[in-house]
Amino acid sequence: MKRDMQLVREIFFQIEDLPHHNKGPFDKLPDESAEVLDYHLKILQEAGLVAWDQIDRGNDCNWYLGLRLTWIGHEFLDNARNEGVWSEVRRALNDNAVKSASFSIWASTLSDRLSQLLS
C-alpha cells in the first residue's frame, strides 16, 4: 500500500477536531476504506506523528481510544494548514522530475515555504 500525503493531511485535520477523550472507529473519511485509514494511522504512529491510548480490534474496523496528534504531528499540520502553500508544495513534490518525496522533505519544504512567506 502506498502512503498518500494528501490523505495524511486530511487525517490530521480530522484528528485535530476530535474531542480529547474520543473513542470509536476512525471513520471520518467515508471515501476511504477502513484498511487504508488503519494503514495510514499505523505508519503515522510509527513515525511519532499520532498517538492513541488503546486500540480495540473490531471485525470491520479498529476502535481508537484517545486518538490524537503528537507535538510533531501538530507542527506538520500547522505548516500544511494553508491551502495555497500546501498546493504549491504538493505540485512541486509531485512533479514528474521528483515523483515522490520522503516525509522529512515534505515537512522541511512546507516549513521553508512558510518561512519565505513570513519574511
Residue range 33-55, pLDDT digits in tens:
888 888 999 999 999 999 998 88
Res 87 pLDDT > 90 = yes
Report pLDDT for 27.
64
The secondary structure of 2-44 as a DSSP string is ---HHHHHHHHHHHHTS-TT-EEE--S-TTS-HHHHHHHHHHH
Q: Which of 6, 12, 60, 63 is nearest to 33 (CA)?
A: 60
Triad 31, 91, 14: Cα angle to 5° = 35
Contact status, residue 60 vs residue 51, Cβ threshold 8 Å: no
pLDDT at 16 over 80: yes
What does the pLDDT look like over 56-84, one tens digit per residue? 777 777 778 888 999 999 999 999 999 99
Please state the pTM of the whole predicted model: 0.86
Measured distance CA(107)–CA(93) in Å, rounded = 11
